[in-house]
Structure 1
Amino acid sequence: MLLSWMMMKMMDPMADEAMAKTLTEDYPDNPFLMVTVAEKLSPRAIMEAAMRAEAGKELVRPLGSPVVLSPWDKILLNPKQLFQLPYPDYTQVATQTVIGPYAKRPLRLDIPIMITGMSYGGSLSLLMKTALAQGAAMAGTSTNTGESAVVKEERDAARYLVGQYHRGGQLSGREQLEQLDAIEIQLGQGAWGGAVDEPMPAEQIGRHLRKAWQLEAGQSHTVYARMPGKQTPQDYINMVNAMKEQYEVPVGVKIAGTDYIEYELAVIAQTQADYIVVDGSEGGTSASNPTLQDNVGLPTFHTLVRTVDWLEDNHLRDRFSVIAAGGLTTPGHFLKALALGADAVYIGTIALMAAMQAQVVKALPQTPPSQLALYSGRITDKLDVDKAARHLANFLNSCTVEMQLAAQAVGKQALKDLERTDLVTVERDLAEFAGIRYAASHRQVPGAATQPGKYYQPEELPLH
């Protein structure tokens, strides 16, 4: 009590002086000026300006952009209660999905939520990669190598492993590719603004990673803007088709969201690929700079809608599975992406947060939680892999049950049955763009030919 009283007595004059200065001084000498400057520039711009002024080189911002332009919260699922009845048992709502159904060995998952490509070395620590693989296996879904190689620890922990045949070349050759349950040809990434050079100096590459990447001592590594040796779109078409001839698992192509998405899809349509991953600008990463994250590319929502629409308009939707990626964080996001036409979704940053769960206290307040997960993190050895795996599995299971309940409300017996008629928005532009119901109009019930205000007879309604 005495110490508290003494502290208050000491702080009182300082607080009085600060308040008096704030309320009486003109702006040039008033501390409140920083509030108005922050409102004008944003706290983020001020902090990043200071970092640039200190470093004199490009910034590296982990976990992606704070700029979220996908309007997921302006779209709602549309429940049915009487004219159509809810599905009788939410626990029986089917959650399975199939990626590449026409491949010799399709990728069959228990849930449509997949762990996205986050590489060992270029992004995450080996312990975190192992935890993600183990947790995904517990939930019956896949994990992804990202821009790295297949390593024994991840392969052993994973039930289903998707591998990225990427622009750095570390995952290539029959020995590596035959270990995979799906091959993903990575041509771009949303958080990197598509495809740019991604250098990694030799001094940042540890012994275990150097062996996995088959690098000599002192050798640096670069993920290039294009596949080495590829000069034309036809080179890529030939590469995809050659991969399809050699391997029985699904082969897919990953591209970043862009307003040229239809042009990109027109090239992919000339291949024999089994699936397409579209990665919006809101996606996460470990090391791209703020300019690429915040200013380059197309949001996930717009990318997904235009991808599915183009495939349908060109009678190609059945040929390709579609995986949506980039900033998807909640069961609601996942459901809406499925209803818009995705067969599955990729998650990254939110999966890391779920895996770390209460273990973030090992980092806070001295360092941010990313130091527990990133390859370059200072306390990666403190991660409890089993706990992280269990928490990720719990997160995925929780999301799945909530998705089943929502599907029950809209009268669906499987998550794959969700469609755009199950969505509604109060935004006219969104309704017109995505082809979903507009709440501020008297839309007819699908399948019922009636006028507003008419009493419906049971035989007129699409009862189920």
Structure 2
Amino acid sequence: MDQREGAAMLEGLIKQAVDEVFDRLSKMQSVKHLFMVDGFSFLRMGAIGERARTGQPLSEPYGSTRRFLDFNELMFLPVQLSRFPLDNHQAVKTDVTIGKRATRPLRVSTPIMITGMAFGSALSKKAKIALAKASTLANTATNSGESGFMPEEREAAANYIVQWNRGRWSNRMEDLPKVDAVEIQVGQGAEGSLGNRVKAENIREDFRVHLGLQPGQDAVRPARFRHIDDPSQFKGMVDELREASGGAPIGLKFAASRIEEDCEVAIQAGVDFITIDGAQGGSGGGREVTINNAGVPLVYAIPRAHRYLQERGVRDQIDLIVTGGLRDAGDFLKAMALGADAVYIGESALLAMIFHQLEKMPPGTNPAQLFLYTGEYADQLDVDAGAQAVANFIKASTTEMQLLAQTVGKDDLHKVDRDDMVALSREIAEITGVQLAYMPQEIRTPPVPVLQ
């Protein structure tokens, strides 16, 4: 067969295939597929199918798949003529103190800390130790998550924040002098205040021992602290934890929701810090219905919390930590410019930890299989390599935050504020109080008359 005959045959095959497609289309009542209908994405269709298969509420890792208004609608304003930027050799302060009034405040060299992700109900022990080691390498802090105090994690972390959780999982008063801060967890962005029950048959021996459970006993996390019957009683809890810890900072963590009301309870409780988890917050296995349908996105929540603490006259007494949907240095510094003192990272830290180890799994495998407690490849995680990768990410992000501060002319990350940004839409301007990019800006120094 010569070249012309081959080309003619190929042309004939293509024509035949096209004719068959058009013939089928002409006989179809509709070419529209369900995923083309507004609201029916592939993810939503898959979720419907999973509920149809199991008859149970759907659980999934990571955060919301919804597209919320976020920090991408804000841009920093470089200074050039009217004010001057900092030179590269001019230092930008990055250190943070959590609990300035505490007997033993928590001091870290970067505002980027590692958020609470529980051993057992979320992460493997290897993953938890890797994150703890990373926090030491980056001179920051890591959070135990709701699984409570873990000796191996404490040993690996220079600064260790322990969550006092509603299930009282691995929460012992005698451990508190060993920790650097205590975070009372009443809710999280992915699930609000929902309770949880882990069946005994799904609890392996190491997790059972860690939680202090008897063989055959389920792990139960109530929706609230059982001994708290009135919001005013949180003060007693805060005082008790403060005394037991020897004066470590005590905070309250809650999902972004009724922000002003919840902040008022925290103020009355006498906390040293507040942690707010936005609606984009992730989970090792949260309910899909709350992940995508409950809570307030972080860009809405930060200005409200910051403003309320100012109005109550306690802004310099209570530190504000935020988390939920923060991905990189730009997000981190924008959150601080809106009022946060520090940020927690979760999904970004996990991605950094495993990014260069993904080749250990077959192509197409969910990356979570490398760090989840139930992950098929969790035993293959290289702890030291993962720790170094997370530390590198935190260090690089801190340096990038310094670069942004330099270009807006600030020598301290905490001096960057709303006046150093513009909003790209009227909606985000109204939400954050940041000036609109398309509106004229007031000149700080009255202009000198131009000589004719």
Q: 8 Å contact 1:244–1:272 — kept in the other structure?
A: no
Q: Answer with 195-204 or 248-257: which moved more.
A: 195-204
2:274 equivalent in structure 1: 276
Q: Which residue of 2 aligns with 1:235?
A: 233
Q: Secondary structure at the match of 1:401?
A: helix
**Equivalent in 304, 307, 316 of residue 305 of structure 2:** 307
Structure 1 CA distance for aligned equivalents of residues 37 and 26 of structure 2: 14
Q: Residues 90 and 404 of structure 1 are in contact (CA less than 8 Å); yes or no, is this contact kept in structure 2?
A: no
Give 1:403's aligned residue. Answer: 401
Match of 2:134 in 1: 135
Q: Secondary structure, in 3 states, of the residue corresponding to 1:335? A: helix
Residue 432 of structure 2 corresponds to 434
Shift of 1:56: 1.4
Q: How does 1:248-287 map to 2 (within 5 A)?
A: 248-258=247-257, 260-287=258-285
Alpha-carbon offset, residue 149 of structure 1: 2.5
1:57 aligns with 2:56: yes
Moved more, 48-57 or 16-25: 16-25
For residues 170-193 of structure 1, the C-alpha deviation after alignment (integer angstroms, 9 at most, x for no partner) is: 13222222221100000110010x
Q: Which runs of 5+ in 2 are unaligned?
A: 1-5
Distance 2:15 2:179 in 1: 67
Question: 1:23 offset after TM fit, Å?
Answer: 3.2
Q: Deviations over 1:84-140 (max 9, x none)?
A: 111123561111111111111111101000100000011100000000111111011
Range moving further from structure 2, 420-429 or 15-24: 15-24
1:207 matched to 2:179? The reply is no
Corresponding residue of 1:422: 420
> In the aligned structure 1, how far is the partner of 2:104 from the partner of 2:91?
26
* Residue 194 of structure 2 corresponds to residue 196 of structure 1: yes
Structure 1 residues 49 and 449: CA distance shift in structure 2, 3 A:
same
Residue 461 of structure 1 corresponds to none
The 2-side partners of 1:251 and 1:40 are apart by 43
Q: Which residue of 2 aligns with 1:341?
A: 339
Q: Which amino acid aligns with 2:415?
A: D
Q: In the superposition, relative to structure 1, how do residues 243 and 27 fare at CA in structure 2: closer, same or farther (>3 Å)?
A: farther
Q: Is the 8 A contact 1:305 1:434 kept in 2?
A: yes
Q: Please tell me the residue identity of whatever aligns with 1:168.
A: G
Q: Give, in angstroms, the shift of residue 241 of structure 1.
A: 2.7
Aligned to 1:298: 296
What CA distance in whole angstroms lies between the structure 2 residues aligned with 1:407 and 1:73?
17
- Code of the aligned partner of 2:222: Y
For residues 387 and 354 of structure 2, the distance between their equivalents in structure 1, rounded to whole angstroms, comes to 9
Q: How many residues align?
A: 442
1:17 deviates by 6.5
Quick check: 2:35–2:41 contact (8 Å CA) kept in 1?
Answer: no
Where does residue 178 of structure 1 map in the other structure? 177
Contact 1:130-1:153 within 8 A present in 2 as well = yes
* Residues 111 and 140, structure 1, Cα contact 8 Å, conserved in 2: yes
Q: Quick one: distance in 1 between partners of 2:31 and 2:351?
A: 35
- Provide the rounded CA distance (Å) in 2 between the counterparts of 1:21 and 1:348: 50
TM-score by length of 2: 0.92
What RMSD over aligned residues (CA atoms) do the two structures have, in Å? 2.3
Partners of 2:226 and 2:232 in 1: how far apart? 14
What is the one-letter code of the residue matched to 1:280?
G
SS in structure 2 of the partner of residue 88 of structure 1: coil
Note if contact 1:38-1:46 (Cα within 8 Å) is conserved in structure 2.
Answer: no
| 1:444 Cα deviation after fit | 1.1
* CA–CA separation in structure 1 for the residues paired with 2:282 and 2:98: 23
Shift of 1:439: 1.7
Q: Distance in 2 between matches of 1:163 and 1:18?
A: 63
State the Cα deviation string for residues 22-71 of structure 1 (Å, max 9, x = none): 43435884795337546651111111111111121111110111114142
| Contact 1:22–1:32 (CA under 8 A) maintained in structure 2 | no
Tell me the equivalent position of 2:3.
none
Alignment CA distance shift 1:183-1:425 (3 Å): same
- Find the aligned partners of 2:152 and 2:19 in 1 and give their Cα distance: 62
* C-alpha distance 454-78 of structure 1, shift in aligned 2 (>3 A): farther
- The amino acid that maps onto 1:147 is E
1:305-384 matches, within 5 Å, as 305-365=303-363, 367-384=365-382
Decide whether the 8 Å contact of 2:149 with 2:171 is kept in 1. no
User: Following the alignment from structure 1 to structure 2, what is the Cα–Cα distance between the partners of residues 64 and 27?
Assistant: 42
Query: How far apart are the structure 2 equivalents of 1:184 and 1:32?
Result: 54
